[in-house]
Amino acid sequence: MVNRIWQHLLGAGLVPSPEDFGKQGQPPTHPELLEWASRYFITGGWRIKPLVKLIMLSDVYQQSSRMPAVPRAGLDPASIDPDNTLLWRMRLRRLEAEVVRDSILAVSGQLNTTAGGPPVLTEVRPDGKVVMNAAKLASPAARSRRSIYLLVRRAYNLSILTVFDQPLISTTCARRDTSAVPLQSLTMLNDDVVIEHARHFAQRLLQQTESDLQAKIRTAFRIALARIPNDDEIAACTAQLASQSKLYRDVGLSKDESNERALVELCHTLLNTSEFLYAE
* Cα–Cα distance, 228 to 252 (Å, whole number): 34
Let me know whether 207 and 267 are in one domain: yes
User: Is there a domain that residue 184 lies in?
Assistant: no
Q: What is the pTM of this model?
A: 0.85
pLDDT at 72: 62
Do 212 and 171 have their domain in common?
Answer: no
Residue 226 structural domain: 191-279
Could you report the per-residue pLDDT of 74-131, keeping only the tens digit for each?
Answer: 678 888 888 888 888 888 888 898 999 999 999 999 999 989 888 888 888 888 888 8
- Predicted confidence (pLDDT) per residue in 244-270, tens digit: 999 999 988 898 899 999 999 999 999
pLDDT of residue 209: 65
Residue type (1 letter), 110: Q
Average per-residue pLDDT in the chain?
Answer: 89
pLDDT in tens, 175-193: 788 888 898 899 999 999 9
What pLDDT is attached to residue 58? 94
- The answer as to whether 106 is a domain residue is no
- Residue 151 contacts residue 120 (beta carbons within 8 Å): yes
How confident is the model over 10-41, as pLDDT tens digits? Answer: 988 999 888 888 888 889 999 999 999 999 99
On whether the CB atoms of residues 254 and 242 are closer than 8 A, the answer is no
Q: Is residue 104 part of a domain?
A: no
When divided into structural domains, the chain yields a total of 3
CB 124 within 8 A of CB 133: no
The answer as to whether 98 is a domain residue is: no
DSSP readout, 180-231? --HHHHHHHHH-HHHHHHHHHHHHHHHTSS--SHHHHHHHHHHHHHSS---H
In a domain, 139, yes or no: yes
As a whole-number percent, the residues of the chain with pLDDT over 90 amount to: 49
Domain-embedded: residue 270: yes
Q: Is residue 116 part of a domain?
A: yes
Same-domain status, 172 and 201: no
